[in-house]
Chain A
Amino acid sequence: AQTVTQSQPEMSVQEAETVTLSCTYDTSESDYYLFWYKQPPSRQMILVIRQEAYKQQNATENRFSVNFQKAAKSFSLKISDSQLGDAAMYFCAYRRVSNTGNQFYFGTGTSLTVIP
């Protein structure tokens, strides 16, 4: 079974600084997707960034970027120039490529605090 591990329950960062959230996963598949979702206090889950395993280039979305290490099964999220609005719970998620099912596996989340 696939598992996703986020070993940092809580993190904090000074406003305008950079923070990295860690995620590791366990799979025997070679083709899959990885995601970072953000859940602010409103509880609305928002997609932050997505990575396809067959792409070697790390995904980037504005201030958010990932460090995807396929051999190490590691998928960390880097937030640059942190803003107060980045404060949220961040979830790492995994999904294998399949047309027969759409199950996503989520980590337990990292709560990010941004200090003004």
Chain B
Amino acid sequence: KAGVTQTPRYLIKTRGQQVTLSCSPISGHRSVSWYQQTPGQGLQFLFEYFSETQRNKGNFPGRFSGRQFSNSRSEMNVSTLELGDSALYLCASSLIRGRGAETQYFGPGTRLLVL
């Protein structure tokens, strides 16, 4: 099976712009989670989508939003970019069974630089 894919891999934007990142989960995985990774803050949970519905949300401002499509692919959007949004954005997918998700499998990430 193909792994989790994320596009684009690298992105440079300027303050005030908006950006959309895409994630395609492993085939059959219906749960997709997004994380922001920065050197100072580590891995911060953004949100999780399952069956096109947001189930969990981390402590991020409303500028960060996401959605999931019927094929489980997910996008996250950041509006009005700030310098502090520069980070590695990781997407992870999970197979949901009776006991919930057993494991998250991560994509290679999208490195966003805001100038």
Contacts and interface: CB of A to CB of B under 8 A. Distances in A.
A-B pairs with the 3 shortest C-beta distances?
A: A45-B106, A106-B43, A102-B101
14 contacts: A43-B108, A44-B106, A45-B90, A47-B103, A47-B104, A98-B100, A101-B48, A102-B31, A102-B101, A103-B33, A103-B48, A104-B104, A106-B42, A106-B43
Given A102-B33, A102-B55, A102-B56, A50 B101 contact: no
A35 B43 CA distance: 14
In this complex, the member of A91, A99, A102 whose beta carbon has the largest number of chain B beta carbons within 10 angstroms is A102
Interface string B14-34: 000000000000000001010
B94 to A, nearest CB: 6
A108 B39 CA distance: 10
Interface in A23-64: 33, 35, 37, 42-47, 50
Interface of B: 31, 33, 35, 42-43, 45, 48, 50, 55-56, 88, 90, 92, 94, 96, 98-106, 108-109, 111
B82 to A, nearest CB: 22
Interface of A: 33, 35, 37, 42-47, 50, 91, 95, 97-109
Given A99-B99, A104-B104, A108-B42, 17 more contacts: A37-B106, A43-B108, A43-B111, A44-B108, A45-B92, A45-B106, A47-B104, A50-B103, A98-B100, A99-B100, A102-B31, A102-B56, A102-B96, A103-B33, A103-B45, A104-B45, A105-B45
Contacts of B48: 101-103
B90 to A, nearest CB: 6
